[in-house]
Chains A and B, each alone.
Chain A
Amino acid sequence: MSTSTETIEQLATREYKYGFVTDVESETIPKGLNEDIVRLISAKKNEPDWLLQWRLKAYRLWLTMKEPTWQNVKYDPINYQDIVYYSAPKKRPALNSLDDVDPEVKRTFDKLGIPLEEQKLLAGVAVDAVFDSVSVATTFREKLAKMGIIFMSFSEAVQHHPDLVRKYLGSVVPHTDNFFAALNSAVFSDGSFVYVPKGVRCPMELSTYFRINAKDTGQFERTLIVADEGSYVSYLEGCTAPMRDENQLHAAVVELVALDDATIKYSTIQNWYPGDKDGKGGIYNFVTKRGLCAGRRSKITWTQVETGSAITWKYPGCILQGDGSIGEFYSVATTNNWQQADTGTKMIHLGKNTRSTIVSKGISAGHGQNTYRGLVRVGKNAVHARNYSQCDSLLIGDKCGAHTFPYLEIRNTSARVEHEASTSKIGEDQIFYCRQRGLPTEDAVNMIVSGFCKEVFRELPMEFAVEAQKLLSVSLEGSVG
């Protein structure tokens, strides 16, 4: 009987189309972590002494720290001596020339849909491409430089703008913040640096594309974005990795600083390799992201679509220091097969009349486990702070799970805090309704899921909203039989 096979439980393998490996000659340092490795990474980047000392301070602290265990995820212990902390394609480009990028690396980005030749790029999007531990190309830099906007790899920024880097590095996420942030501070290799000067509205989307290629290698990038008074910037990051049976670690740190009347929109489309259908392999995505609304009426918006990774652990948050500043967090996190996600946000209200909005959509399928964990803290001086939180979970099938842990710490009686949560199951009846109108099952599921995520997708830059929707449908492929 054709219709009786219609059970949601049937899970099929899904295809991860970014799982290829590029054969490129790499310069890789030996596995393991000690002070010499930290010094070696710093030396390879020809860093000033203050930065080396900063790394060493972080490393020494890290040695005394314990890996966190409070998160609602399970994995075997990570052997930090079994990871390669630096790997780079041998053929290094001269700083401003795309011609010197290893053709294999260039082809890799082409295959990922991120062509590095500027004329082929999406109109209005500048890209910094990070391959394993190094940035291989940054496009449109000259055009942006004319407006005073600095957009370059972190390593270059250390060389060209050491004062700016030194001023803001670690100012939002100090090396003492947590275990993975300390590790990152010790061994970070590359990432993007953005500075938008006073009153400048960045005319194009800035984006960084992260690619892990080398085996046994961890990726530890660091991104720092500073928006000076009255400026505006929208930034997007994307990520993919090859399919491998071993887990790989990605421990990044992102720091945002918005001064008076500045706005930063930071969007993530995270599609690291999630592991196979039996839960083998995949990226451990342990990331610390935080924005400081330092100035009055400043605004930081985090939008994330998290479809990849075996395990996701991240809480992009905002410290609302400036009076009247605004923090927003919009998130879609999907877990299929054996993926686990523990993600959410922290909104720390310090200034007066600060506002925050949290919209979190968790989708679980297969054996996936999805946890929302969010903190709203209103300090004693944060008069008239307001927060609105909404956490919705969608379950596909009956072997997955959704969990919500909202934490509220309110120290000012004038605060107004609202929290709404819902959990729903994508029903046979909804799917049947769509099918009775002629839509195939996969289309029906995609439609129901995109409807569920609508409030988040509309926050994404237009060029990427469509991509995110497609990605979501691929990541849930086969979740309904």
Chain B
Amino acid sequence: MLEIKNLQVTAEDKEILRGIDLSVNKGEVHAIMGPNGSGKSTLARALSGHPEYQVTGGQVLFEGRDLLDMDPDERAREGVFMAFQYPVEIAGVNNAYFLKAALNAKRKHQGLPELDAMEFMSLVNDKAKLLEIDKSMLSRAVNEGFSGGEKKRNEIFQMALLEPTLAILDETDSGLDIDALKLVANGVNAMRSPERAFIVVTHYQRLLNYIVPDFVHVLSGGRIVKSGGKELALELEQKGYGWIEAA
């Protein structure tokens, strides 16, 4: 589903990714780990088309199409979702209104009829139940005055509504206490399906106790220096990143 070939990315004229190769198939969960500054968040943001990251080389195919040729909003409508590390606040814009607009932009793109308010609310109810999420955050402005945990839960809720084919989680666990972490992980697990792939970017192994990955990749210096199964994460937890960087 996703083919990354020799991807090179700079930010503020600094070379960050120096040639990433990665294949992700439907149904798989890939964890991207690595020390601070290794480029793992850059990978997530470059894939979603963040304007501050310039792709200087390589290729990314998403379901056979050139992902890098698409605008960020087109990537989203094609089914790429990124849960932000720092979700932004949009004052005065009702969360439900925002989500309905996003969902309908995607449905329109897919040639599906747009949902009206009633249909949308019943979908919201279903998803809220599935994720055990409090609906009251829908009537507030987008992320405005949300606690760190609420913001992350809102990201997962958006993901559940938009039903992406590829979901990228950019350090979603940062700043979460254990209860919030479990809620987020449960949401992701409820969304796992043979039709959907996840790229989970994280610094700590902790999240991977709850979201068990199929593959773990370790980034260092802008390259994938080691790949393995879920046991690789445990090994990292014990030994730290030092032994990989030294290797």
A contacts, CB < 8 Å to B:
1-4, 6-7, 427-430, 432-441, 443-444, 447-448, 450-455
Contact = CB atoms under 8 A, between A and B. Distances in A.
B237 to A, nearest CB: 31
Contacts of A430: 88, 90
Contacts of B49: 2-3, 435-436
A438 B54 contact: no
Contacts, number: 94
B105 A3 contact: no
B214 interface: no
A455 B55 CA distance: 41
B50 A438 contact: no
A432 B105 contact: no
Contacts of A439: 73, 101-102, 105
B162 A1 contact: no
User: Size band of the B side of the interface?
Assistant: 35 or more
Closest 10 A/B residue pairs (Cβ): A451-B92, A451-B93, A437-B102, A438-B76, A6-B51, A435-B73, A454-B92, A438-B105, A435-B72, A438-B77
Interface string B61-92: 00000001111110111000110100110111
A437 B76 contact: yes
Contacts of A455: 92
B76 A3 contact: no
B87 A1 contact: no
B48 A436 contact: yes
Interface of B: 48-52, 54-55, 68-73, 75-77, 81-82, 84, 87-88, 90-93, 98-99, 101-103, 105-106, 109, 141-142, 158, 162
A1 B72 contact: no
Looking at B51, B54, B84, B109, the one whose CB has the most chain A CB atoms below 10 A away is: B51
Given A432-B50, A436-B48, A447 B72 contact: no
Looking at A4, A7, A435, A443, the one whose CB has the most chain B CB atoms below 10 A away is: A435
Contacts of A441: 73
Given A434-B102, A438-B162, A451-B93, 5 more contacts: A6-B72, A428-B51, A438-B109, A451-B141, A455-B92
Nearest to A454: B92
A2 B105 contact: no
Contacts of B84: 433, 436
A451 B93 CA distance: 5
A5 B24 CA distance: 28
Contacts of B102: 434, 437-439
Nearest to A437: B102
A453 B82 CA distance: 28
A432 B92 contact: no
B72 A3 contact: yes
A433 B55 contact: no
25 contacts: A1-B68, A2-B69, A2-B70, A4-B51, A6-B72, A428-B51, A429-B88, A432-B50, A433-B90, A435-B72, A436-B75, A436-B76, A437-B99, A437-B102, A438-B73, A438-B77, A439-B101, A440-B105, A444-B73, A447-B90, A447-B101, A448-B90, A448-B93, A450-B92, A453-B92
Nearest to B108: A438
Contact of B52 (A428, A451, A454): A428
Given A3-B49, A443-B105, A435 B71 contact: yes
Given A3-B50, A3-B72, A427 B88 contact: yes
A433 B92 contact: no
